[in-house]
Chain A
Amino acid sequence: MADALKAKIQDVFDEPGCGTNLNKSEQQRKKGCAKPLSPGAAAGGCAFDGAKIALQPIVDVAHLVHAPLACEGNGWDNRGAASSGSELYRTGFTTDLTEIDIVMGHGEKKLYRAIREVIEAHDPPAVFVYSTCVTALIGDDIDAVCKAATEQFGTPCIPVNAPGFAGSKNLGNKLAGEALLDGVIGTIEPEFETPLDVNIIGDYNLSGELWQVKPLFDRLGIRILGSITGDARYRQVAMAHRAKVTMLVCSKALINLARKLDDRYGIPYFEGSFYGISDTSDALRTMCRMLVERGAEAALLDRCEALIAEEEAKIRAALEVYRPRVAGRKVLLYTGGHKSWSVVSALQELGMEVIGTSVRKATDEDKDRVKEIMQTDAHMFDNMAPKDMYRLLKEAGADVLMSGGRSQFVALKAKMPWVDVNQEKHEPYAGYVGMLDLVRAIDRAVNNPMWRDLRDPAPWEDGERAEGTGFLPPLTGTCPVTNASNVSLVPPPWTGPVSQPDDPMPPAPRPHRASDADLAQGPGLGGYLSSGTDFEDC
């Protein structure tokens, strides 16, 4: 690993903006927050995966992966980050390194040519170049190639140094943030600025979640200047340094980016979430307060309160319709972090009973909130093995599992309703309207009439005997599948001459090592030798 990358990783692990990090001793902090992975029991993506996830929603950029096939070939166009414009981000670009490229050291040259080809074919505002395990291992200097290509072609080429083996997905997110700080943010000045310009960091507009809250911003006159990175344009990211306030959405992953925007450009940030009614209101309130502190007119606060009151009343009325359909249902929640309590409170408001919530990746603060909301810590759990979760669900300790895609099949195979609440979901659940979508999804899942039918015993399991069963004569006649008589699956024996002019398989030259005796074991098998030629008919 290049020294520069090592230094970068040390740097992102030493994050004064992160509470967990601050609580560590000097010794612990040196180790970073990467947990050693145990072979055979690891799950989750790598640093490259994390970097790609964070940057791919910049939709008009060409994302070029410098790697052998797997990194891009197995993973392109696999997330639902929505775009309101260019579709270029959905196009998979890779140098697809071959053995020859690696052995002969052609990597850098191939990358340079690939950059030229992608610029010629698509003329993007920028090319993001990702390094990966293999190209980092053989020492390709993507920084140098990007620099040369930028000078030669005039299109900014941004190196993203996050090879997979550097660490986890989370680290990759952070390294992606660093790449933006180093190469993109601050490179373009906006034509005009308003006192209501904000940055949104950490929302990737999956299934259009950003658009669920954007109408609220629109009504308050707040402009999303820098979007990092939901439905983002390259120019937007490049202008992010001129925003007045940064909101870090529901994620510690990009906290380094938010903090450094503060350090370098004096843009204050806050952490907020758009999951749940009260969270959405809090986020709007905080944003408006901070904007006013930074010079927006004070009337914004009143407009904000009016909007919140109106929207909350509207959504509560809409949700009330669903209360009888979901009240009393038992939910097992397997998400973690912030959502371990934000979703709990939302569900409890609707009369649902949360029988357990996972506190993976949650901070102590998050855990305290869970205890406060659920009045006990008896329902908190950390990780649960798929096997145990399957048993819990099968024994019907719950009515529905809400989790991410990884446990989807644990629930479904236990014949248990499942609602996706993680990043890969296909439905947006953000903002006030998102809550309604979530409750609709829960209703649709738990009240589907299918579950009862699926769980009912099969005809041979319920012990009921149909009328008319008794002694049956043994089967005779023809096989129902093959129509062969006497249930013998063997067709009538061969009676023709042993070798015919149009013999389907003329004897082929025999391999030397097999003796005739071995091969003439059965009648007529003499001709069945390996044939160098293939079926002759086609």
Chain B
Amino acid sequence: MARITHPKRALSTNPLKSSAPLGAALAYLGIDGAIPLFHGSQGCTAFAMVHLVRHFKEAVPLQTTAMNEVSTILGGADQIEEAIENLRKKSAPRFIGIASTALTETRGEDVAGELRDIVARRRDFADTAIVYASTPDFAGGMEDGWSKAVTAIVEALVPETDPVFRDPDLRQVNLLAGSHLTPAEVEELVRLVRAFGLNPVVLPDISGSLDGHVADDWRGTSLGGTRVEAIPAMAKSVFTLAIGEAMRPAAQKLEARAFVPYRVFQSVTGLKPVDALVRTLMGLAHAADAPPSVKRDRARLIDASLDAHFHIGGLKVAIGADPDLLFALSTTLAGLGAEIVTAVSTTTANGVLERVPASEVVIGDLGDVERGAQAAGAQILVTHAHGRHAAHRLHLPLIRAGFPIFDRLGAQDICRVGYRGTRAFLYEVANAVQAVHHRPAPEDFGAAPIEKEFEHDPHTASC
């Protein structure tokens, strides 16, 4: 069991975490026809938007209640109402997801109450689903914001069901996707679920909105994702698959409201975690066997493990990521014999950190990753793109994982889940290790180099 430590210091050097409202915005973007709305000053939105655009290389609809000093002191209910009205006029969104920021939370506004008032008074807002999550920047990071937003969506849009009348659709399952999943990873999980003849309702589904595609028209909202009408229908699902420990509150909320039983998969990367998912799917499909494509993918992962363990076994890894991603990637590498010498994460809210295969998990920043990696002689770094400076200084290969990845294209296509994704991940790490060019030399072993007089020196005779 890993020890969770908080370094005693006032200065954070090179932040590892992104903010909670940004996580909430990203979750809201997994709904079709959505616009996330930050309740804060316009800078909160501008920074988050630039951050998202640099990662996805997409136009990201993100708006702000544009709080100024006066509205902050007096309260921002009017700003919220005006923002909703303006958004509806401009882009006709089907869904508006509101996330609070440190500014409005420091003042302490009862946004939930105000929003209830607004929605009750403004009948004309009825055709836009409006959801609010409290996500102050000063508490937790991106994963927490995402988790709170998804829980808020369930709370607001999934109807309470009387267990007596519960009549589940036996082929429909809920897939609660964690913040650490890329669009390609959501797609991979959907494919896996469908392979068993089951029909998943994904929440939130960024694989439709942020997968990087050219649409036929310009819309000021998200371009795909979970359809708003599909969310109430989640109450009819036979089961909920929650991917990532951070999705447990949302799964519990679904169970409390609609009596849908759930299971949390803390990881879906690595042979055993995917096996666990497949077993569940077999059970849900009432099947004694898995489809041939799934069996073949598993056989190929086993072969990949055989090939990759030569490079990953004994590898000293320094990793920094949000808890769910940290757990998924570090257990996979440790499962092939790697040693997690430095593990740094962002938030204590997630209990999975205790299960990370390292002696210590530091709640810290990229400064901790860099110092830890150097002290422990790490051979590879695994963290987001801001780790490039540390990797450069330490002369180590960097596996880019998490958010943001702004200096590589195709961040949305990275897939490290399922049998296929795990296989790709193992190859990626093993190849990064092999790419470090080292030619053995006699000096490495303490032997004297070849004597100069034996060496032929070309072109000396001619000049």
Minimum CB–CB distance from A503 to chain B (whole Å) comes to 9
Q: Is the CB of B163 within 8 A of A514?
A: yes
A538 on the B face (CB < 8 A):
yes
Q: Which of A492, A525, A534 has the most CB of B within 10 A?
A: A534
Chain A contacts for B331, CB-based, 8 A: 538
CA distance A91 to B11 in the complex (A): 12
Q: Is the CB of B279 within 8 A of A523?
A: no
Chain B contacts for A48, CB-based, 8 A: 43
Task: Kindly report which residue of chain A lies nearest to residue B9, judged by CB atoms.
Answer: A117
Stretch at the interface among A19-27, A92-100, A179-187, A352-360: A92-100
0/1 string, B253-286, CB within 8 A of A gives 1: 0010001011111110010110111011011111
Chain A contacts for B50, CB-based, 8 A: 74-75, 78
CA distance A246 to B280 in the complex (A): 71
Given contacts A133-B102, A496-B288, A530-B263, contact A535 B72 (CB under 8 A): no
A518 on the B face (CB < 8 A):
yes
In the complex, chain A residues 354-407 whose Cβ is within 8 Å of any chain B Cβ: 385-387, 390-391, 405
Please report A residues at the B interface, Cβ cutoff 8 Å.
1, 37-49, 64, 67-78, 87, 90-99, 101-102, 109-114, 117-118, 121, 133-134, 137-138, 164-167, 385-387, 390-391, 405, 408-410, 413-415, 481-484, 488-496, 504-505, 511, 513-515, 518-519, 521-525, 527-531, 534-538
Given contacts A39-B79, A39-B82, A40-B83, contact A69 B288 (CB under 8 A): no
Given contacts A78-B51, A87-B389, A413-B215, contact A535 B42 (CB under 8 A): no
Q: Is the CB of B273 within 8 A of A535?
A: yes
Minimum CB–CB distance from A499 to chain B (whole Å) comes to 11
Minimum CB–CB distance from B420 to chain A (whole Å) comes to 13
Minimum CB–CB distance from B220 to chain A (whole Å) comes to 7
CA distance A67 to B43 in the complex (A): 13
B338 on the A face (CB < 8 A):
no
B141 on the A face (CB < 8 A):
yes
Q: Is the CB of A529 within 8 A of B261?
A: yes
Q: Is the CB of A77 within 8 A of B13?
A: no
- For the A-B complex, the count of residue pairs with Cβ-Cβ distances under 8 Å equals 325
Minimum CB–CB distance from A390 to chain B (whole Å) comes to 4
Q: Give 22 A-B contacts (CB < 8 Å), ordered by A residue.
A: A37-B66, A41-B86, A49-B43, A69-B19, A91-B389, A94-B11, A97-B102, A97-B138, A99-B138, A111-B10, A118-B11, A134-B137, A134-B138, A165-B72, A491-B288, A491-B291, A514-B163, A518-B166, A534-B263, A534-B266, A537-B273, A538-B273
Q: Which of A113, A387, A390, A518 has the most CB of B within 10 A?
A: A518
Given contacts A37-B68, A70-B101, A515-B163, contact A494 B288 (CB under 8 A): yes
Chain A contacts for B195, CB-based, 8 A: 481-482, 489
CA distance A96 to B218 in the complex (A): 38
CA distance A185 to B167 in the complex (A): 74
Q: Is the CB of A519 within 8 A of B261?
A: yes
Q: Is the CB of B68 within 8 A of A391?
A: no
Chain B contacts for A97, CB-based, 8 A: 102, 138
Q: Is the CB of A522 within 8 A of B286?
A: yes
